[in-house]
Every structure is written in C-alpha cells, then in structure tokens.
Amino acid sequence: MFTLPHPSIHLCTHPHVLPCTCARRLPTELQNRIEYLQNLTTFHNSERQFNICIAYSSVAEMYHAFQCCCATPNATSVTQHLFTSSNYPQLIVRTSGERRLSDFLLMQAAHANSSILFIDKLWPAITYVIFDILPYICDHTSTHARTRTRTRTHTH
C-alpha cells in the first residue's frame, strides 16, 4: 500500500504541495489523501513547491497543456498549463535506480536551473524522506545559494 509522507515533513520547510497526476487513475482513498495534503499547504510559501508525481506521464501532461491553450498555442501558454504550473523544479528526484527520465518531467528537465537526482530505491522504499533525500536537497540548496551570491556579486 502506498502512503503519503507525514505532513510534518513538508510543513517544516513550508512548501506548497502540488500533485502532478492524472488523479482519476488513482484509488479514491489516495485521491482524498493527496487533496488533503494539497489543501493543508495551499497557503504556504508559494516560492517553495513540492510536486508529487503519481500516475504521471509527460505525454499526458503536455496533451493537457495543449488542450488548455489550443486557442493561443505558444511556449508561455503551454508552460502555464503544465501540472507544475509554470514553476520549473530546481531538483527532480527519479527513483527506481533508472538513469533515464523516460516519460518523466521532460519539459521541466530541459530548464537550465533544474538538477536531476537519481536514487537507487523504489519510492515505497524511501520510508524516511529526511534521510534519503534531505542531504541532496541541502547540497542543492547550498550550491544554488552560492551560485546566486556569485551572480549578484558579478552583476554589481
């Protein structure tokens, strides 16, 4: 059985949890849990977004985006209708031990500021998100902060 991480894990950094999913493919109980977690974090820091990709497909995501903006198809309108809502992820975590993206966040991964982390575990085996992923998030955050500092230093 798949369970969502405990909300306190996410609440400590105050992100807005946003599911990237074709929810109708999921059991009703899981849909309800995802909706609860999303509602619980709706008013959190909009600069920090935690996307959960379940029953996800880049092809379905792009098809959805194209359908929503077929009257005005351009890069901006398509990007605004992606499941990630125009926010390019800074860190993409790919579980399962595969070293490829397959059909996973293809448009988002092309963004220059997105890093990809491959983990040799299946998602259900990542029982302690803090121990499995947090070191990478901290490393990515400090690297990103140093880059921003250097950029600011060079622009003044």
> What's the pLDDT tens digit per position in 100-123?
888 878 888 877 777 888 888 776
The more confidently predicted of residues 25 and 143 is 25
What is residue 53's three-state secondary structure?
strand
Radius of gyration of the chain (CA): 16
Distance CA 149, CA 146 (A): 5
List beta partners, residue 116: 92
pTM of the full structure: 0.58
Is the distance from CB of 92 to CB of 115 less than 8 angstroms?
yes
Q: Which of 17-21, 70-74, 120-124, 147-151 bottoms out in mean pLDDT, i.e. has the lowest? A: 147-151
Which backbone phi and psi does 91 adopt, to 5 degrees?
Answer: -135, 125
> What's the pLDDT tens digit per position in 52-68?
777 777 888 888 888 88
Is the pLDDT assigned to residue 33 strictly greater than 60?
yes
Distance CA 156, CA 151 (A): 9
**Most confident of the ranges 3-7, 8-12, 93-97, 124-128:** 93-97
86, amino acid identity = S
DSSP strands (E only) in the chain: 15-21, 45-54, 91-94, 115-118
pLDDT of residue 51: 73
Q: What percent of the chain has pLDDT over 70?
A: 58
